[in-house]
Amino acid sequence: MPQKRFLTLSLGFVGLLALISLYSCKKKNSITETAPTSVTDYDGNVYKPVKIGNQVWMVGALKVTHYNDGTRIPYVPGNTWITTTEGARCYYEDERIDPVQYAAIYGALYNWYAVSHKGIDGKPNLAPKGWHIADTTEWDTLIGTLNSNPNFRGGNDATVGGMLKETDTTHWLSPNTGATNSSGFKALPAGFRHNLGSFNHLGYYAYYWSSTEISSNDAYCQKLNYANAEISRVTNIKSQGLSVVCIKD
């Protein structure tokens, strides 16, 4: 009789442990699978994240004026942009749109030196804490999620760009081919700043830096086009000014 009672108690204890383990597992998974409702950068700008597959991306390009440790990112207008090899930011200069309005809609343009800038802990610190700038592998994961190819590589796809682009022609030039924004990413055509200082392609293209370096002079970025639904991976000089989006750690 004591032996039977011991067996019953043992089984009950094991069952209780199993239930606790199952609850913990479910709780952990729910945290992992749920995107945060918002993310705030050092300046207090608030962004809405979107979950795409197993990744959480920031909706809208970064507009912060400080690294996440509070160090100011130099604002570099004019010809000094050509020579800087330090992290820098700027806003598109064009008679169609003033800098304040541009920043509110499109965010800032950063050179790659800002993307790779490191804090005292040795980690890149342009993105808000808990976030980072995606490398080419993470961009491939995003594209592979949207084109249903888990083994996707290479950064180029004929239709995924349309899934990332904001719809209509409020910001994109007509015809904004293939734009559905089915991913919720809401990419905007912020154009870019040439390494020689000029501004180009507002309304035509979106360029997003990756954190993947090619050489001492070049790094990869992803490009979206108003005239087709493609996303393409291109090489850019590090001193170009491009948009930045962030992915959750």
Residue 34, token pair as written in the block: 């749920």
Domain boundaries, the chain: 1-34, 39-248
Per DSSP, 157 falls in state B
**What does each of the 249 residues of the chain score in pLDDT, given as a tens digit?**
444 444 343 444 444 344 334 434 433 333 334 668 899 999 999 999 999 999 999 999 999 999 999 999 999 987 889 889 999 999 998 877 888 899 999 999 999 999 999 999 999 999 999 999 999 999 999 999 999 999 999 999 999 999 999 999 999 999 999 999 999 999 999 999 999 999 999 999 999 999 999 999 999 999 999 999 999 999 999 999 999 999 999
Let me know how long the chain is. Answer: 249
CA distance 155 to 54: 18
Q: List Cα–Cα distances, 122 to 15, 43, 113, 131, in angstroms.
A: 46, 22, 14, 15
